[in-house]
Amino acid sequence: MGSSSKRSSDPAIDRSDDAPAGLPQLVILLALSLLFFLPKLGMPFLDPDEGLYATIAQEMLGDGDWVIPHVNGLPYLEKPPLYFWLTALAFRVAGPSEWATRLPSALAALGTVILTWRVGRRLYGARAGLLAGLVVATVVGNALYVRKASPDQLFVFCLTLAMYGFLRDAEHPSRGRARFLLCYLGAALGVLAKGLIGVVFPLLIVGLGMVVARRLSWRELNLARGAVVFALVAVPWHALIAWRSPALFGFYVVDNQLLRFLDARGYIEDDVSSSTLGFLVASFIWAFPWSVFSLARGTADASRHARWRPFILIWLIVVVGLFALSRFKHEYYALPAFPALAVLVAGAWISGRDIGRWLVIGLIGCGVVGLWALWAGPSLTPGQALNGLAELNAYYRILRDQGLPFPFASARPFGDLLSALGMVLLAGWGLATLCWVRGWRRGAFVSLVGLSGAITVMIFRLLDVVEPHHSVKEIAQAINARAVPADVIVVEGTLEDSPALPFYTGRRALLVNGALNNFSFAATLPEAHGIFIDTGDLIRLWTGPQRVFLVVRRPRGQSVVAALPIAQVHELGRFGSRWLYTNR
Q: What is the 3-state secondary structure (H, E, C) of 205-259?
A: HHHHHHHHCCCCCCCCCCHHHHHHHHHHHHHHHHHHHHHHCHHHHHHHHHHHHHH
Q: Determine the angle formed by the axes of helices 98-124 and 50-63, rounding to 10 degrees.
A: 110
pLDDT in the model for residue 117: 98
- Sorted by where each begins, the domain ranges of the chain are 77-258+269-353, 361-470, 473-582
Q: How confident is the model at residue 18 (pLDDT cuts 50, 70, 90)?
A: very low
Q: Mean pLDDT across the chain, nearest whole number?
A: 92
Q: How far is CA 502 from the centre of its chain?
A: 23
pLDDT of residue 268: 56
Of the candidates 252, 315, 316, the one whose C-alpha atom is nearest the C-alpha of residue 284 is 316
Residue 523's pLDDT is 87
Q: What is the mean pLDDT of residues 93-101?
A: 97
Instruction: Label residues 477-493 b or e (16+ Cβ within 10 Å = b).
Output: ebbeeebeeeebbbbbb
Mean pLDDT of 124-148: 96
- pLDDT attached to residue 176: 86
Distance CA 301, CA 527 (A): 61
Question: d(Cα 236, Cα 556) in Å, to the nearest integer?
Answer: 48
* Pick from 13-22, 29-38, 359-368, 563-572: least confident: 13-22
Cα atoms in the Cβ-side hemisphere of radius 13 Å centred on 581: 24
Query: Cβ(116)–Cβ(132) under 8 Å?
Result: yes
pTM: 0.93
What is the pLDDT at residue 255?
75
Q: Assess contact for 202 and 163: CB atoms under 8 A.
A: yes
Strands 578-582 and 532-533: unpaired
* Residue from 256, 252, 249, 250 nearest 271 by CA: 256
Q: How far is Cα 346 from Cα 330, in angstroms, rounded to an integer?
A: 27
Instruction: Give Dmax over CA atoms of the chain in angstroms.
Output: 92
Residues 6+ apart with CB under 8 A from 96: 54, 57, 58, 61, 503
pLDDT in tens, 492-516: 998 988 999 999 999 999 999 998 7
pLDDT tens, position by position, 431-466: 999 999 999 999 999 999 999 999 999 999 999 999
Using alpha carbons, select from 383, 379, 261 the residue that is nearest to residue 324: 261
Asked if residues 182 and 161 have their Cβ atoms less than 8 Å apart, the reply is: yes
Residue 582 DSSP SS3 = strand
Q: How many CB atoms lie within 10 A of CB 275?
A: 14
Please tell me the chain's helix, strand, coil percentages from 3-state DSSP, rounded to the nearest 5.
65, 5, 30
Could you tell me which residue, 228 or 77, shows the higher pLDDT?
228
Q: What's at 262, amino acid-wise?
A: L
CA dist., res. 338 & res. 282, Å (int) = 13
- pLDDT tens-place string over residues 58-71: 999 999 999 999 99
